[in-house]
Amino acid sequence: MSLNKNIILLLLFVFNIFPFEIQAQKVMQNAFGRENLSLNGAWQYIIDPYQMGYLDYRQKPFDQSKGGKGGFYDNITTPDKKTRVEYNFDFEPSLQVPGDWNSQDSRLLFYEGTLWYRKDFNVNQKQDKNYFLYFAAVNYECHVYLNGKKIGTHKGGFTPFQFDVTEKLNNGKNFVVVMVDNVRKKDEVPTINTDWWNYGGITRDVTLVSTPKSFIEDYKIQLAKNEKDVIEGFIQLKGATEKEKVTVEIPELKIKSSFTADENGFVKIKIPVKNIDYWSPENPKLYDVKISTKTDKNSDKIGFRTIKTVDKDIILNGKSIFLKGISVHDENPLVGGRLKSEGDIRMILNWAKELGCNYIRLAHYTHNETMLRLADEIGLMVWAEVPVYWTISWNNEETYKNAENQLAVGIERDKNRASVIIWSVGNETPVSKERNVFMGKLIDKVRAIDDTRLVAAALEIERDGYAVTVEDPLGDKLDLASFNEYGGWYWSEPKELPKYNFEIKFNKPVVISEFGADALAGFHADDDTVWSEEYQELFYKNQLNMLEKIDGLRGMTPWILVDFKSPRRQNPKYQNFWNRKGLISETGYKKKAYYILQNYYKNKNLNKK
- Positions touching ligand GCU (CB under 6 A) are 195, 364, 427-428, 484, 514, 559, 579, 581
Q: Residue 322 or residue 515: which is nearer to ligand GCU going by CB?
A: 515
CB of 364 to ligand GCU, least distance (A): 6
Q: Residue 118 or residue 581: which is nearer to ligand GCU going by CB?
A: 581
CA–CA dist 113, 182 (Å, integer):
6
Q: Residue 364 or residue 453: which is nearer to ligand GCU going by CB?
A: 364
Q: Residue 211 or residue 484: which is nearer to ligand GCU going by CB?
A: 484
CB 286 within 8 A of CB 257: no
CB of 427 to ligand GCU, least distance (A): 5
3-state secondary structure of 589: coil
3-state secondary structure of 247: strand
CB of 511 to ligand GCU, least distance (A): 14
CA–CA dist 255, 252 (Å, integer):
8
CB of 514 to ligand GCU, least distance (A): 5
Q: Residue 174 or residue 557: which is nearer to ligand GCU going by CB?
A: 557
CB of 490 to ligand GCU, least distance (A): 7
> Which residues touch 349 (CB under 8 Å, ≥6 apart)?
360, 371, 374, 375, 378, 380
Q: What share of the chain is helix, strand, coil (3-state, %, to 5)?
A: 20, 30, 45
CA–CA dist 196, 236 (Å, integer):
37
CB of 497 to ligand GCU, least distance (A): 17
Backbone φ, ψ for residue 224 (5° rounding): -60, 155
CB of 58 to ligand GCU, least distance (A): 41
Q: Residue 285 or residue 364: which is nearer to ligand GCU going by CB?
A: 364
Q: Residue 293 or residue 579: which is nearer to ligand GCU going by CB?
A: 579
| Residue whose CB is nearest to ligand GCU in the complex, by number | 195
CB 200 within 8 A of CB 111: yes
CB 475 within 8 A of CB 443: no
CB of 428 to ligand GCU, least distance (A): 5
CB of 459 to ligand GCU, least distance (A): 11
Q: Residue 415 or residue 581: which is nearer to ligand GCU going by CB?
A: 581
The full 3-state SS of 31-54, as one line of letters, equals HHHCEEEECCEEEEEEECCCCCCC
- Single out the residue of 327, 330, 332 nearest to residue 103, CA to CA: 332
CB 1 within 8 A of CB 26: no
> Which residues touch 56 (CB under 8 Å, ≥6 apart)?
62, 65, 70
Q: Residue 293 or residue 327: which is nearer to ligand GCU going by CB?
A: 327
- CA trace torsion 464, 469, 474, 480 (10° rounding): 150
312 vs 443, 475, 550, CA distance in Å?
Answer: 20, 13, 11
CB 78 within 8 A of CB 72: no
CB of 124 to ligand GCU, least distance (A): 47
Amino acid at 308: K
CA angle (557 as vertex; 552, 563 as ends), nearest 5: 160
Q: Residue 414 or residue 428: which is nearer to ligand GCU going by CB?
A: 428
